[in-house]
Amino acid sequence: MPGEPAEIHFLIEPLGPNYGRAAFSCGSKELDSYLRTQAGQDLKKRAAVPFVITPDHRTIAGFYTLSQHAVDLGELPEDVAKKLPRYPLVSATLLGRLAVSLQFRSQGLGEKLLMDALYRALQSSKQIASAVVVVDAKDEQAAAFYRKYGFIEFRRIQRRSFLPMATIVQLFPE
Ligand SMILES: CC(C)(COP(=O)(O)OP(=O)(O)OC[C@H]1O[C@@H](n2cnc3c(N)ncnc32)[C@H](O)[C@@H]1OP(=O)(O)O)[C@@H](O)C(=O)NCCC(=O)NCCS
């Protein structure tokens, strides 16, 4: 329709050298600084893979990171733990960080990033097992965001929560 702004299409891809990291601002100094100074190192040293959401292959509208992880079986709620084998450590995927730039907030990008991360975790778990996706919320607001999507809190670790892969499978029927 003439006069209506054109819809912006966003793409999610691994962080690369073409991205202007310094311009990213999400309201959290820790997360901004992570993207500027640490994300590239984590990628290089294989500690985590950062993915970005972008409208133009240059601007970072948001990002998240994924890495392999393990959690203590005893930290999971009893009803979840009893469905898992009795190994002391449960294989997991860590969604280490997730943030959307202030400029692009409240347009559904946080949800897009989260769903993309869960989908990648699910796909990857078919090759290298992972029973849960774990997130660390930086504050109560972030914890509320994850709760909205069904994340369950750990028994003793504050603001750490998880989503069983069995739940994630149901989000992406084949
Ligand atoms: C949390 C964050 C990623 C949400 O990003 P966003 O792009 O604004 O979120 P979306 O527009 O995709 O929102 C998706 C849904 O989540 C809801 N939501 C957003 N932030 C929320 C919060 N803090 N608590 C509860 N629900 C929230 C929205 O209302 C929306 O729900 P609706 O579709 O029913 O209206 C963003 O606020 C952010 O980057 N915060 C700073 C960093 C941070 O806290 N990261 C979390 C990990 S440490």
Q: How far is the CA of 98 from the centre of ligand 1 (A)?
A: 10
Which pLDDT does position 3 carry in this prediction?
66
CA triple 50-13-48, angle to 5 deg: 15
145 C-alpha to ligand 1 centroid (Å): 5
- Of 171, 80, 173, 97, the C-alpha closest to 132 is 80
**pLDDT value of residue 1:** 56
Q: Which residue blocks in 17-71 are alpha helix, DSSP H?
A: 29-33, 39-44
Residue 68 tokens, joined: 């392999």
Ranges in the chain, pLDDT < 50: none
Q: Among 145, 158, 159, 160, say which to mutate for ligand 1: greatest number of ligand atoms within 8 Å of CB.
A: 145
Burial 131-162 (b: 16+ CB within 10 A, else e): bbbbbbbeeeebbebbeebebbbbeeeeebbb
d(CA 93, CA 69): 5
The reported pLDDT for the residue numbered 2 is 61
143-164 residue pLDDT tens:
999 999 999 999 889 999 999 9
**Sign of the Cα pseudo-torsion (131, 122, 63, 41, in order):** positive
Instruction: Tell me the CA–centroid distance for residue 51 and ligand 1, in Å.
Output: 17
DSSP assignment of 96-142 equals EEEEE-GGGTTSSHHHHHHHHHHHHHHHHHTTS--SEEEEE-SSHHH
In the DSSP assignment, the letter for residue 38 is I
Q: Please work out whether the CB of residue 168 comes within 6 Å of at least one atom of ligand 1.
A: no
* Per-residue model confidence (pLDDT) at position 174: 85
pTM of the full predicted structure? 0.95
Atom index in ligand 1 nearest the CA of residue 111 equals 12
How far apart (Å, rounded) are the C-alpha atoms in residues 112 and 62? 10
* Token output for 17: 């050298």
Length of the chain: 174
144 lines ligand 1 (CB under 6 A): yes
Q: Is 60 in the pocket of ligand 1 (CB under 6 A)?
A: no
What local confidence, expressed as pLDDT, does residue 155 receive?
A: 85
Say if ligand 1 is within 6 A of residue 167 CB: no
Q: Which domains does the chain have, with CATH numbers?
A: 11-171 (3.40.630.30)
Nearest CA to ligand 1 atom 4: 110
